[in-house]
Amino acid sequence: MGKKIIIDPITRIEGHLRIEVEIENGRVKDAWTSGQMFRGIEMMLQGRDPRDAHHFVQRSCGVCTYIHALSSVRAVEDACKIEIPENARIIRNLLHGAQYQHDHIVHFYHLHALDWVDIVSGLSADPVKTAKLSENVSGRPQTADYFREVQAKLSTFVNSGQLGPFNNAYWGHSAYKLPAEANLMASSHYLEAIKLQAKAARMHAIFGGKNPHPQSLVVGGVTCVGDLTPERIDEFTGIWKETKAFVDEVYIPDILAVASFYKDWAAIGGNNKTYLCYGDFPQQGINDDLLMPGGVLMGDLNPIPVDTNRITEDVTRAWYERGEAKHPYEGETKPIQGEVTYNTNDQYSWMKAPRYDGKSAEVGPLARNLVAYTSGQKEVKVLVDHVLKTLGVGVDALFSTLGRTAARGIETVVVGNAMGGWIDTLKSNISSGDKKTYQPWEMPDKARGFGLNDVPRGALGHWINIEGGKIKNYQYVVPSTWNLGPSDGKNQKGPVENSLIGTPIADPKQPLEILRTVHSYDPCIACAVHVIDPHTNETYKVRVI
């Protein structure tokens, strides 16, 4: 039996996640992912007015706020057969696109970059050489004096110990490969992204009223008709342009620059199983002509349409009352009463195990890129081919931790470009006098429906049963549950568990390599689970900062 290590908690994510792995001969032999909180929001919704559901579900998390509200109103609209006006569709797309622009930048620089970038190494870089590298790589080159200023800031952070990510990490780890100058350049962009993400978040506030938890979504459309003025649209457009420029000039060049030093990771962290995405950003109706198409890849590169009737959730290895795998319409949220026991041979997580046609499925940017690429989405295909050619790797490199990270950047460009067209259409509608953003409707006595949404972290679905005009049952299956769920009754592991197996580990006491793959999925455990379980059962424990 190999050595077991436990990383608890995993940081630079949203929520509480525990990873346990078994290492043998320097590689991960087995892995277990455990959500350490319980989510009970579905239970709170029973008996409430369906029109209020989106206010509750978007508070599953402080990050994934708008997207839960969007899935929720779509579920009620599906149940009540509501077709929203074109302006409402456009505004929803713009708010959703803003989420992509904000989340993917934050993920790469503030959650994932420190797995590849050695901040402390940048202190020894030559600012002149860094400026030359910036000129060759970045679309926004900086001077040697600028990088000297960045070094001074970093030195202050590192020496003071006041900024956790810079004070406690695996600096100097043998798995870091970037030269000092590349580390300094990337560190400067880390700091720039901190300022930019605050501006990008304002896009939600312009048409959503606030961020987090925008308030303008309602069943039947949106309520921000008063904000459809040239001044407010121009304000939104200005932030979008600034964010898009950062993506094109900094984010994408950084991905390519970092990836060029880590090509070995094009063969690490792959799942190579089933890939699922619902698709999103409707160009016309709710499900018509999606910018990012939906589909399922099941062991080959021939996408098939998603059949939501094939979705189930298994609770065999989760801390819920035993029962058969159920479709979300019939789903139950019945946590074990009393104390729970962490046992990787039995039950070990608060997350359920979603399955598509009985199979574990990866969701997220990689799944979306693969489905779009194989479906012939032109812009995705051009960008994917460009990345592969630039790095000198084949299509197989997509099925990896590196491919998963690159996929986020690719779709950030695609969605960002599309936002310009949506803004133009909205301006045209407003100038012609069309300001309709809401469709009146009536609540049926009995109905059921579902709302699908492909969000930055992956496929999100909400299912609602209405009886007597109230919510009888409500279930939602979130991206991190798909990706980080436990094994099921057939002992099929979840995508992250599968992806970790085979990962090389240089130092078990500093498992940087595990963090790279886990972070590539951008876990959001708060969406998946909500009441802390403090139980541990480790061989030895690594606390990651």
Strand partners, 517: none
Of 56-65, 171-180, 286-295, 406-415, which range is least confident? 56-65
Q: Are 134 and 185 in contact (CB under 8 A)?
A: yes
Query: Average pLDDT in the 9-31 region?
Result: 89
CA distance 434 to 504: 58
Say whether 294 sits in a helix, a strand or coil. coil
**How does DSSP classify residue 216?**
-
Give the chain's domain count: 1
Tokens of 536: 């541990």
Helices (H), 342-436: 365-375, 378-391, 401-431
Strand partners, 304: 296
| pTM over the 0.85 mark | yes
- Give me the amino acid identity at 54: H
Q: Are 92 and 54 in contact (CB under 8 A)?
A: no
DSSP string, 413-437: HHHHHHHHHHHHHHHHHHHTT----
Neighbours of 174 (CB within 10 A): 10
**How does DSSP classify residue 226?**
G
Sign, Cα dihedral of 414, 383, 517, 114: negative
Helices (H), 161-179: 164-167
- Nearest alpha-carbon partner for 480 in 544, 533, 526: 526
pLDDT of residue 268: 97
Helices (H), 2-85: 41-45, 53-57, 66-80
CA distance 101 to 113: 17
- Nearest alpha-carbon partner for 118 in 168, 163, 176, 162: 176
Strand partners, 359: 356
- More reliable by pLDDT, 441 or 539: 441
Query: Average pLDDT in the 449-475 region?
Result: 96
- Give me the amino acid identity at 309: N
- Nearest alpha-carbon partner for 406 in 206, 78, 116: 116
Residue 534's pLDDT band, with cuts at 50, 70 and 90, is very low
Residue 101: pLDDT over 50: yes
CA distance 488 to 101: 34
pLDDT of residue 445: 97
Neighbours of 440 (CB within 10 A): 7
CA distance 517 to 401: 5
Residue 82's pLDDT band, with cuts at 50, 70 and 90, is very high
Query: Average pLDDT in the 500-527 region?
Result: 91
Return the CATH number at 316.
1.10.645.10
Say whether 286 sits in a helix, a strand or coil. coil
CA distance 213 to 450: 21
Residue 538: pLDDT over 60: no
Q: Give residue-wise pLDDT tens across range 106-164.
A: 999 999 999 999 999 999 999 999 999 999 999 999 999 999 999 998 888 777 766 55
CA dihedral 72, 229, 415, 303 (to 10 degrees): 50
Residue 36's pLDDT band, with cuts at 50, 70 and 90, is confident
E strands present in 25-93: 27-35
Tokens of 521: 């999925």
Residue 542: pLDDT over 60: no
Q: Are 347 and 341 in contact (CB under 8 A)?
A: yes
Residues annotated as catalytic are 14, 61, 64, 68, 457, 480, 524, 527
- Nearest alpha-carbon partner for 460 in 41, 13, 194, 68: 68
The label of the residue with tokens 């089933």 reads 274
**Chain centre to alpha carbon of residue 492:** 23
Q: Are 494 and 485 in contact (CB under 8 A)?
A: yes
> 24: part of which helix (H) or strand (E)?
strand 17-24
Query: Average pLDDT in the 199-203 region?
Result: 94
Q: Give residue-wise pLDDT tens across range 327-367.
A: 999 988 788 888 889 999 999 999 999 999 999 999 999 99
Query: Which letter, b or e, does each residue of 386-407 get, where b requires 16 or more Cβ atoms within 10 Å of its Cβ?
Result: ebbeebebeeebbbbbbbbbbb
Q: Give residue-wise pLDDT tens across range 249-306.
A: 999 999 999 999 999 999 999 987 899 999 999 997 666 689 999 999 998 889 999 9
- Nearest alpha-carbon partner for 117 in 257, 265, 8: 257
Domain that includes residue 59, residue range:
3-542
- Nearest alpha-carbon partner for 169 in 182, 149, 179, 183: 183
The label of the residue with tokens 């919510």 reads 471
Q: Are 251 and 409 in contact (CB under 8 A)?
A: yes
pLDDT of residue 2: 74
CA distance 406 to 253: 11
